[in-house]
């Protein structure tokens, strides 16, 4: 049957980032929906459109609006999603009507497909679902998918299962999980952590709520959580009607460090968190056990829930989310939610990680080499090779995110990049096993040999580092914390890039926020300091500073200036001065790296070429 065209229009699509390492972009495309497929093409002014992508409708499993308050970095502000095979395509429409037209038509055409039961109403972003915070892209959705519902907010009374919450005794209090700025006239702005009264929750996407001044309006239901009780049911860690003994059996069966659940306590109205741990007993003996903690509440204030120590939260989901990343007084961090309907919630990345898992029995650990951002670093032997073993203190790293990325990092293989051999998640604390670099970090190496490093060797070091970075750049991998301290030196005095991409897993605000005291301001490009905008070109800026460190034999850049003074100096157009040992041509390269506009900075490939030309001037001239 000849396909019949249903809709055609210019829309914007976000790149699908099928490779984890590719960075997102937004492109205008001409979309055509017919009865067989959804196709999008690039339009050239005087050429035939070039088809850039085509999705057969039978492969589509969900089409729905995306409700989000993240700033949308393109001119069309009305996002919707098409989930097909294992991919998410985000499309942006210029207005809500247009979006509804497409969602409605796509839903209509795909309603008999094999659809998902639940979907994610918010974006997948920075390695997480913004709605449910799950860190696995293919994790089941957190919101019921209704293939017949269109996101018209009215008339609500025509929607099935109308359920209006009564005022008065039956009043349900909601907590805003994030700010929401109205997209339409009937919406109500809400503020994170403030309380609202639920008026109507019959629409599966938009609820009507009332604020403390009595104003009512629509809000995306994923932006709010009911303050008590039944709301917990949608979390995989909550088990209703389960006894302490049953909880212990389930968690012991699971047998994984940090397996946990939230259950109703035997004391009415109280919740208990039960956690399984294999932590050693006081005498060093193996003592697997389940520990139980009541979720306690203070009397006063908005944030009232807490567990072992007094870290207070407005809602139980917020409290659990925090302790999924921080033990903070618990025997161990909450790692693996265990649910009544079966096994532990298994992250796909964990299954994939198995092949990268290092067996602790194959490894011996020796003396300490130093203390890093995530924990202590030791010398070790693994499969007859000398290795560096980096231990990861669990409160320091978002390790679920890391495990997902470890697969990609282990594929990075270049003679000028320190090799990650594997991860040992069976050890406590978890550790990462790297290629051993005899001469430690570059900054300390240069300082220790002050006066002994010739400019030729310095140039060689910069070339090594630029070679490693050019490789990462060509693999679309950002370093984000390039500095001499994050380069290591081999026994042959080669310089290799280390610690690439690791800052994303740091759980310390002082380090990750550009106003934090540990943020590497002195190595950061202006756009990183101002907008957190990382790119290969922001790595290039840091590389300029690294070159400066090399030619100053490991001196600290802007030695006497505070971070704030550095920012002021950069804003005034000032730059680091030429090191005495640096030839003019080398300083010109540094200055090129420090161009205000990222687009005016060279790529690493160009830098490598320029540095190589400086190291072989005669050959170049011949
Ligand atoms: P972080 O960057 O996480 O703060 P580092 O990687 O700098 O921590 O590790 C701390 C110290 O351990 C380094 O300065 C270095 O001396 C040593 N070290 C780290 N990795 C290795 C390695 N692969 N080989 C030899 N020594 C290492």
Q: Tens digits of per-residue pLDDT, 249-270? A: 999 888 888 899 999 888 777 8
DSSP 8-state code for residue 282: T
**pLDDT at residue 321 in the model:** 78
Q: Which residue has the tokens 């240069």?
A: 446
Supply 347's token pair.
């992250």
Q: Is 370 in the pocket of ligand 1 (CB under 6 A)?
A: yes
- Tell me what pLDDT residue 154 has: 41
pLDDT in tens, 93-137: 988 778 888 998 999 999 989 899 889 988 888 788 888 888 888
Instruction: List, in order, residues 6 or more apart from 330 with CB less than 8 Å away.
Output: 273, 275, 291, 293, 307, 308, 323
Computed over every residue of the chain, the mean pLDDT equals 81
pLDDT attached to residue 308: 78
Query: What class is the 156-228 domain?
Result: mainly beta
Instruction: Please compute the mean of the pLDDT values over residues 362-389 and round it to a whole number.
Output: 89
Distance in Å, CA 317 to ligand 1 centroid:
36
Distance 485 CA to ligand 1 centre (A): 8
Pair of tokens at residue 355: 């092949």
Q: Angle 308-310-311 (CA atoms, 0-180°, nearest 5)?
A: 100
Q: Best of 367, 370, 379 to mutate for ligand 1, by most ligand atoms within 8 A of CB? A: 370
Q: Identify the pLDDT of residue 506.
A: 53
pLDDT band at residue 517, thresholds of 50, 70 and 90? low
Mean pLDDT within 308-331 = 79
Ligand 1 neighbour 147 (Cβ under 6 A): no
**Closest C-alpha to ligand 1, atom 27:** 440
Overall average pLDDT of the 199-215 stretch: 78
SS3 260: strand
Residue nearest to atom 12 of ligand 1 (CA): 370
Helix, strand, or coil here: 318? helix
- Residues identified as active-site: 481
CATH of domain 5-144: 2.30.29.30
Residue 513 predicted with pLDDT over 90: no
Taking residue 133's Cβ as centre, other Cβ atoms within 10 Å add up to 14
pLDDT band for 82, please (50, 70, 90 cuts).
Answer: very high
Instruction: Specify the pLDDT at position 379.
Output: 95
User: What CA–CA distance (Å, rounded) separates 519 from 514?
Assistant: 6
- Model confidence band, residue 1 (pLDDT cutoffs 50, 70, 90): low
pLDDT one-digit tens code per residue, 9-63: 889 999 876 654 555 788 888 899 999 999 998 877 667 778 888 999 999 999 9
The CA-to-CA distance between both ends of the chain, in Å, stands at 68
pLDDT of amino acid 70: 74
The pLDDT score that the predictor gives to residue 105 is 92
**Across residues 337-365, what is the average pLDDT?**
61
The verdict on whether omega for the bond into residue 429 sits within 30 degrees of 0, i.e. cis, is yes
Q: What is the pLDDT of residue 162?
A: 28
Q: What is the pLDDT of residue 125?
A: 84
| Domain ranges within the chain, ordered by starting residue | 5-144, 156-228, 234-337, 350-435, 452-615
Please state which of the four CATH numbers 2.60.40.790, 3.30.200.20, 3.40.50.10140, 3.40.50.720 is assigned to the domain occupying 350-435.
3.30.200.20
CATH architecture of 234-337: 2-Layer Sandwich (3.30)
pLDDT at 155: 33
- Which two structure tokens, joined as six digits, stand for 204? 């599966």
> What average pLDDT score do residues 460-482 get?
88
Q: Do domains 156-228 and 234-337 have the same CATH topology?
A: no
Residue 227: how many CB atoms within 10 A of its CB? 18
Question: From the alpha carbon of 498, which atom of ligand 1 is closest?
Answer: 6
- Whether pLDDT at 402 is above 70: no
- For the domain spanning 452-615, the CATH number is 1.10.510.10
Closest C-alpha to ligand 1, atom 9? 372
* Residue 434 in contact with ligand 1 by CB distance below 6 A: yes
Specify the pLDDT at position 620. Answer: 40
Kind plus residue range of the DSSP H or E element containing 588? helix 584-593
Q: Is 486 in the pocket of ligand 1 (CB under 6 A)?
A: yes
Q: For the residues 196-211, what does the mean pLDDT come to?
A: 77
CA proximity to 254, closest of 274, 232, 284, 234: 274
Q: Which of 68-72, 303-307, 438-442, 483-487 has the lowest mean pLDDT?
A: 68-72
Query: What is the per-residue pLDDT for 401?
Result: 58
pLDDT for the residue numbered 170: 55
CB 38 within 8 A of CB 107: no
Does residue 522 surpass a pLDDT of 80?
yes
Measured CA to CA, the distance from residue 323 to residue 328 in angstroms comes to 7
Average pLDDT for 81-96 = 90
Residue 622 has pLDDT above 50, yes or no: no
- Identify the residue with better confidence: 595 or 305: 595
- pLDDT at residue number 281: 56
The pair phi, psi for residue 620, each rounded to 5°, is -60, -40
Is 184 a pocket residue for ligand 1 (Cβ < 6 Å)?
no
pLDDT, position 456: 93
Give the C-alpha separation, 573 to 518, whole Å: 24
User: Do the beta carbons of residue 478 and residue 501 sit within 8 Å?
Assistant: yes
Please, are residues 554 and 447 in contact by the beta-carbon 8 Å criterion?
A: yes
Closest protein CA for atom 7 of ligand 1? 372
Average pLDDT rounded to a whole number, residues 524-529: 90
Residue 77 — very low, low, confident or very high, per pLDDT cuts 50/70/90?
confident
Least confident segment among 261-270, 283-292, 546-555, 560-569: 283-292
pTM for this entry:
0.49
DSSP of 600-612: GSPPHHHHHHHHH
Q: What angle do CA 364, 365, 371 make, to 5 degrees?
A: 160
581: CA distance to ligand 1 center in Å?
Answer: 27
Q: How many whole angstroms separate alpha carbon 341 and alpha carbon 407?
A: 30
- pLDDT (mean) for 506-535: 73
Confidence of residue 168 (pLDDT cuts 50, 70, 90): very low
Round the CA-based radius of gyration of the chain to a whole number and report it: 28
Measured CA to CA, the distance from residue 517 to residue 531 in angstroms comes to 17
Separation of alpha carbons 39 and 53, rounded Å? 6
Beta bridge partners of 40: 31, 53
DSSP assignment of 464-508 equals: HHHHHHHHHHHTT---S--SGGGEEE-TT--EEE-STTGGGGB--
Strands (E) across 493-584 are located at 495-497
Contact yes or no for 248/272 (Cβ under 8 A): no
């Amino acid at each position: 049957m000849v396909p019949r065209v249903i809709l055609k229009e210019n829309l914007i699509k976000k790149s699908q980032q099928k490779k984890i390492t590719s960075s997102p972009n937004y492109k205008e495309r001409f979309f055509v929906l017919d009865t067989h497929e959804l196709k999008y093409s690039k339009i050239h002014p005087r050429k035939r459109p070039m088809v850039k992508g085509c999705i057969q409708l039978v492969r589509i499993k969900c089409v729905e609006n995306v409700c989000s308050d993240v700033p949308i970095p393109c001119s069309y502000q009305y996002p919707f999603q098409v989930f097909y095979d294992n991919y998410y395509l985000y499309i942006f429409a210029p207005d809500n009507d247009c979006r509804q037209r497409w969602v409605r038509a796509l839903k209509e055409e795909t309603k008999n497909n094999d659809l998902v039961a639940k979907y994610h109403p918010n974006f997948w972003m920075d390695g997480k679902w913004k709605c449910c915070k799950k860190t696995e892209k293919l994790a089941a959705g957190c919101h019921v998918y209704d293939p017949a519902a269109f996101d018209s907010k009215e008339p609500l009374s025509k929607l099935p299962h109308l359920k209006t919450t009564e005022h008065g005794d039956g009043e349900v209090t909601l907590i805003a999980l994030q700010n929401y700025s109205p997209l339409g006239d009937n919406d109500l702005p809400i503020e994170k952590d403030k309380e609202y009264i639920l008026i109507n929750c019959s629409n599966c996407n938009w609820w009507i709520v009332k604020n403390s001044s009595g104003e009512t309006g629509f809000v995306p239901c994923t932006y709010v959580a009911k303050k008590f009780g039944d709301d917990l049911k949608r979390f995989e860690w909550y088990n209703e009607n389960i006894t302490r003994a049953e909880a212990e059996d389930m968690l012991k069966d699971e047998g994984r460090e940090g397996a946990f659940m939230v259950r109703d306590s035997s004391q009415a109205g109280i919740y208990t968190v039960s956690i399984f741990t294999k932590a050693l007993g006081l005498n060093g003996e193996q003592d697997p056990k389940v520990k139980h903690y009541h979720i306690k509440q203070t009397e006063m204030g908005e944030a009232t829930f807490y567990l072992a120590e007094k870290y207070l939260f407005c809602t139980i989901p917020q409290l659990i989310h925090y302790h999924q990343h921080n033990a903070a007084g618990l025997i161990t961090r909450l790692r693996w939610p265990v649910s009544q309907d079966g096994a532990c919630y298994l992250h796909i990345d964990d299954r994939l990680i198995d092949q990268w898992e290092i067996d602790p029995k194959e490894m011996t650990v020796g003396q300490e080499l130093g203390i890093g951002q995530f924990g202590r670093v030791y010398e070790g032997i693994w499969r007859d090779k000398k290795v560096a073993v980096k231990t990861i203190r669990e409160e320091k790293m978002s390790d679920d995110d890391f495990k997902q990325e470890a697969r990609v990092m282990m594929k990075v293989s270049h003679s000028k990049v320190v090799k990650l051999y594997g991860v040992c998640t069976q050890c406590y604390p978890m550790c990462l096993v790297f290629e051993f670099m005899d001469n430690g970090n570059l900054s300390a190496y240069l300082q220790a040999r002050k006066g002994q490093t010739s400019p030729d060797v310095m140039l060689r070091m910069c070339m090594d580092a630029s070679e490693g970075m050019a490789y990462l750049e060509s693999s679309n991998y950002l370093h984000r914390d390039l500095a001499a301290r994050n380069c290591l030196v081999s026994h042959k005095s080669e310089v290799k890039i280390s610690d690439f991409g690791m800052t994303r897993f740091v759980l310390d605000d002082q380090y990750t926020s550009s106003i934090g005291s540990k943020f590497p301001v002195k190595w950061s490009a202006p756009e990183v300091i101002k907008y957190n905008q990382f790119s290969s070109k922001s790595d290039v800026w840091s590389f300029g500073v690294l070159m400066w460190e090399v030619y100053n034999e490991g001196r600290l850049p802007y030695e006497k200036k505070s971070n704030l003074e550095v920012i002021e100096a950069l804003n005034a157009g000032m730059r680091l001065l030429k090191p005495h040992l640096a030839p003019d041509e080398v300083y010109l390269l540094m200055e090129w790296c420090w161009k205000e506009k990222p687009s005016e900075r060279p790529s690493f490939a160009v830098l490598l070429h320029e540095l190589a030309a400086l190291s072989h001037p005669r050959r170049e001239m011949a």
